[in-house]
Amino acid sequence: MRIILASASPRRRELLSQIGLDFEVIVSEVEEKVGAMLPEQVVEELSVRKAEAVLGAIGDSAEDVLVIGADTVVALDGQILGKPGSPQEAAEMLRRLSGRNHGVYTGVALLYRPGSAGSRDVPGPSVSTEGSGDSGALQRRIFHERTDVAFFSLAEEEIAFYVATGDCMDKAGAYGIQGMFARYVKGITGDYNNVVGLPVGRLYQEAKEWLR
């Protein structure tokens, strides 16, 4: 089984390694613009596009292939907060999140393609199979997880200090819960790993029939 993570995120790499998967990384370069509006739809659509781009790039294979695409956003009052484009934008995001609750959404797309050397038919209602009567056809599972996060109130000097570290710049919502910003997190409801960038518990449960 060849497992491919279609993401450059070091945090997603760490999480997949943590659950014992042997995988490689091929970064998808798709444009992160979608027609969907709801955060759960946005992350699912982007995760699928990333996974499809990588699967198409690698071509046919004699071995089974599982491509994992993922995307994470923060949503506050119905508005999606992605990665900040500047330190000023990061500071503004943190001001908006200060003392508030918000949702973190991660979409995951699992694309499984049996290799040309042999194929397995994988049953289950959550599997969508492309093609008719072909056990070697592409199969996919697409889902999202939401975790609710509450912040303590942030003083201006705390925001300025954190933004100056640069840790905010490659993260949705301009913060990383697994780093020093944890000092400002009041609590979470849901999967902690989902906030880091990948709900690996559910991912494994969705994919384990293919991983046997």
CA distance 193 to 158: 25
User: Which residues lie across from 147 on neighbouring strands?
Assistant: 104
One-letter identity of residue 44: E
Q: Identify which of 176, 165, 157, 150 has the alpha carbon closest to the alpha carbon of residue 72.
A: 176
Q: Which of 22, 60, 71, 191 is catalytic?
A: 71
Q: What angle do CA 21, 27, 28 make, to 5 degrees?
A: 120
Catalytic (active site) residue 71: yes
Q: Please report how the helices 156-165 and 87-97 are oriented relative to each other, as an axis angle in degrees rounded to 10.
A: 140
| Four-CA torsion 60, 9, 99, 183, nearest 10 degrees | 140
Catalytic residues: 71
